[in-house]
Amino acid sequence: MASDEDALALLALALIMKKKETKPVKRERKKWCKDWLLKRATYSHVNLLNELKFEPEDFKNYVRMDEKTYLELLSMVTPMIKKEDTVMRKSISAHERLSVTLRFLATGRSYEDLKFSSVISPQAFGKIIPETCQALYQVLRKDYLKFPTSEEEWKGVAKMYEERWNFPHCLGAIDGKHIAIVPPANSGSYYFNYKGYHSLVLMAIVNAKYQFMYIDVGMNGRISDGGVLQNTVFFEKLENGELHIPSSETLTGTNRNLPYVFVTDDAFPLRPDMIKPFRQANLKSHERKILNYRLSRARRVVENAFGIMASRFRIFYTHINLEPENIDKVVKASCVLHNFLIERSKRSYAPQECFYRENSESGNIISEGYNTQNSTMENLERRNPGNTLNTAKIVRENFMNYFNEEGTVPWQDNYVT
């Protein structure tokens, strides 16, 4: 018995000694960064930007704005995205972070592709672009994403719609788009929509100046389009009477009392505060066709707003390959940038051909304006009308009568056959 114990002890001792004699294999230490990525000062696209300052059109094409506007934006966002140098390495500057983010939005190129022109690694992009988009949204939304909060502000929106589009008491045009995405791993059919691809939904309300007043991003495309609006904070407040919308008023110079309403298309419900066109099958009279035409004129601003944004930020011509929370940041940043550039650099960002225009004398449409037809942004599905409140039908009839009587415009019959 003792000899067995001694044998086991000797075996254990031999194994321990052998382990000590075996030296661990020393792995070759990898570089923390590729050599060419360390030469950012030499090869980065910021050198190209310095040259493009002497070619203003090329500069605008590169970052979607002129140099003056870009520098203003850089000064606004720098405190939020600037990083400190360390003893190990020099930080990526705010200028590089902003310019490469704008280039990402403008082209929709992948991180792997952008690394060659920016000399920044894809891993760094994974932090830089979402952080910069978030910073853009935070610094711009206060002044450039204004949602009315009082009756006076709503009336200001309505006044501009009446002046520009001859549609009184209009509080804004509502629309939604599917934003095509590459679904995250293991998400199954969560984002898969009825159109046959994966998407998130962008809901928006636009004023008469083609600017977004309200956006809601991130709802998965699988949700029925009829239910998209009902899941927004806007609709919840609308239902609860918390938006401070003005009460019905008599139109100036008439005896007609009309409510304040939003204009929509057939993807949304007909409500007393939401007007949509008559369906094609129900266009039984000239008067209804006039209503549809006048409503269409007011609604085109939201289609043009989406179209301008998509044409300038070509990220919307791709299936966005980011995590959903980062897609949310990218879309929000694009919307506030759109508003900022409409306000500060409209001539270069959105010239006349971007907008719907018509010849009121001949009845010809000069320009349909930019739309999302060639992008991956698609309309929401047309809604089954279901049960509609009689009060909503009466409101639409009252607007129809107004447009065919005291609210008529000289050219409207030119557009209705």
- Listed residues 143, 171, 195: the one ending a domain: 143
Which residue has 């899941």 as its token pair?
231
Query: What gap in Å lies between CA 384 and CA 158, rounded to an integer?
Result: 29
Q: Does 17 map to a domain?
A: no
263 shares a domain with 131: no
Which residue has 């239910």 as its token pair?
227
277-327 pLDDT tens trace: 998 887 889 999 999 999 999 999 999 999 999 999 999 999 999 999 999
The token pair that represents 68 in the structure block: 């003056």
73-89 pLDDT tens trace: 999 999 999 998 877 77
143-169 pLDDT tens trace: 999 999 999 999 999 999 999 999 999
123 shares a domain with 81: yes
- pLDDT value at residue 358: 84
- pLDDT value at residue 284: 83
User: Would you tell me the crossing angle of helices 286-312 and 151-165 to the nearest 10 degrees?
Assistant: 100
Q: Does 20 map to a domain?
A: no
180 shares a domain with 118: no
Is pLDDT above 90 for 368?
A: no
Q: Where are the alpha helices (DSSP H) in 31-82?
A: 40-43, 45-52, 56-63, 67-81
3-class SS shares of the chain: helix, strand, coil, % to 5: 50, 10, 35
63 shares a domain with 205: no
Per DSSP, the three-state class of 174 is strand
390 shares a domain with 248: yes
Query: What gap in Å lies between CA 332 and CA 255, rounded to an integer?
Result: 43
Is pLDDT above 80 for 406?
A: yes
Q: How far apart are the first and last CA of the chain?
A: 111
Contact yes or no for 390/333 (Cβ under 8 A): no
Rg (CA), the chain: 29
- pLDDT value at residue 326: 96
Predicted TM-score (pTM) above 0.95:
no
187 shares a domain with 101: no
166 shares a domain with 135: no
**Span 189-204, average pLDDT:** 92
Q: Return the half-sphere exposure (C-beta side, CA atoms, 13 A cut-off) of residue 71.
A: 7
Q: Does 334 map to a domain?
A: no
Give residue 385's pLDDT band: very low, low, confident or very high (50, 70, 90): low
276 shares a domain with 191: yes
Q: Does 23 map to a domain?
A: no
Q: Does 335 map to a domain?
A: no
- Listed residues 143, 164, 196: the one ending a domain: 143
- Listed residues 110, 143, 176: the one ending a domain: 143
Query: What gap in Å lies between CA 322 and CA 333, rounded to an integer?
Result: 15
For the chain, what is the domain count?
2
374 shares a domain with 361: yes
248 shares a domain with 213: yes
Q: Does 8 map to a domain?
A: no
User: Would you tell me the crossing angle of helices 324-344 and 286-312 to the nearest 10 degrees?
Assistant: 100
Query: What gap in Å lies between CA 103 and CA 126, rounded to an integer?
Result: 15
98 shares a domain with 163: no
Query: What gap in Å lies between CA 188 and CA 107, rounded to an integer?
Result: 28
240 shares a domain with 387: yes
- pLDDT value at residue 36: 55
**Span 48-62, average pLDDT:** 90
Q: Does 22 map to a domain?
A: no
Domain assignment of residue 60, given as a range: 37-143
Q: Does 264 map to a domain?
A: yes
16-53 pLDDT tens trace: 666 655 556 556 656 556 765 666 667 678 888 888 98
- pLDDT value at residue 32: 54
Q: pLDDT exceeding 90 applies to what percent of the chain? A: 64
Instruction: Please count the other Cβ atoms lying within 10 Å of the Cβ belonging to residue 11.
Output: 10
- pLDDT value at residue 139: 97
